[in-house]
Amino acid sequence: MKTISYGRQEITEDDIKAVVGVLKGDYLTQGPMVEKFENDFSRFIQASNSIAVTNGTAALHLAALALGVREGQKVLVTTNSFAASANCIRYCGADVEFLDIDPQTMCLDLPALEQKLKSAKPGTYSGLVAVDFAGYPMDTESLRNLADQFGLWIIEDACHAVGARFLNSKNEWIFSGNGKYADISVFSFHPVKHIATGEGGMVVTANAELAAKVRLFRTHGITKDPSLMLNPVDGPWSQEMQVLGYNYRISDILCALGASQLQRIQKNLLRRRSIADRYASELGDIKALSLPKVPKNLEHAYHLYVVHTEQRGELFSHLQKNGVNPQVHYIPIHQQPYYQNLYGKMQLPRAEKHYQTALSLPMYHGMSDEEQGHVIKVVRKFYLG
What residues make contact with ligand PLP under the rule CB under 6 A? 55-57, 81-82, 84-85, 131, 157, 159-160, 188, 190, 201
Sign of CA dihedral 175, 177, 179, 182: positive
Answer whether 62's CB lies under 8 Å from 217's CB: yes
297-to-103, 174, 274, 284 alpha-carbon distances in Å: 18, 11, 17, 21
Shortest distance, position 193 Cβ to ligand PLP, whole Å? 7
d(CA 94, CA 72) in angstroms, rounded, equals 6
Shortest distance, position 86 Cβ to ligand PLP, whole Å? 10
Shortest distance, position 82 Cβ to ligand PLP, whole Å? 4
Task: Give 188 or 268: the residue with its C-beta nearer to ligand PLP.
Answer: 188
Task: Give 99 or 379: the residue with its C-beta nearer to ligand PLP.
Answer: 99
Shortest distance, position 99 Cβ to ligand PLP, whole Å? 14
Shortest distance, position 131 Cβ to ligand PLP, whole Å? 5
Task: Give 85 or 357: the residue with its C-beta nearer to ligand PLP.
Answer: 85
Task: Give 49 or 81: the residue with its C-beta nearer to ligand PLP.
Answer: 81
Shortest distance, position 211 Cβ to ligand PLP, whole Å? 20
Nearest Cα to Cα of residue 96 among 160, 161, 155, 179? 155
Round the CA-based radius of gyration of the chain to a whole number and report it.
21
Task: Give 87 or 268: the residue with its C-beta nearer to ligand PLP.
Answer: 87
Tell me how crowded residue 351 is: count the other CB atoms within 10 A of its CB: 28
Going by C-beta distance under 8 Å and a sequence separation of 6 or more, which residues neighbour residue 254?
A: 189, 197, 198, 199, 200
Task: Give 137 or 382: the residue with its C-beta nearer to ligand PLP.
Answer: 137
Task: Give 66 or 289: the residue with its C-beta nearer to ligand PLP.
Answer: 66
CB neighbour burial string for 36-61, b if at least 16 within 10 angstroms, e if fewer: bbbebbbebbebebbbbbbbbbbbbb
Going by C-beta distance under 8 Å and a sequence separation of 6 or more, which residues neighbour residue 172?
A: none
3-state secondary structure of 105: coil
Task: Give 197 or 268: the residue with its C-beta nearer to ligand PLP.
Answer: 197
Q: Which helix (H) or strand (E) holds 271?
A: helix 265-283
Task: Give 33 or 202: the residue with its C-beta nearer to ligand PLP.
Answer: 202
Shortest distance, position 337 Cβ to ligand PLP, whole Å? 19
Q: What is the DSSP letter of 5?
A: E
Shortest distance, position 198 Cβ to ligand PLP, whole Å? 10
**DSSP-assigned beta bridge partners for residue 306:** 360
Residue nearest to ligand PLP (CB): 56
Task: Give 265 or 379: the residue with its C-beta nearer to ligand PLP.
Answer: 265
Q: What angle do CA 234, 238, 244 make, to 5 degrees?
A: 125
Cα-to-chain-centroid distance, residue 334: 19
d(CA 130, CA 82) in angstroms, rounded, equals 12
d(CA 179, CA 49) in angstroms, rounded, equals 9
Shortest distance, position 338 Cβ to ligand PLP, whole Å? 16
Answer whether 11's CB lies under 8 Å from 142's CB: no
Is beta strand 4-5 parallel, antiparallel or unpaired with respect to 49-53?
A: unpaired
Largest Cα separation within the chain, whole Å, is 78
Shortest distance, position 87 Cβ to ligand PLP, whole Å? 9
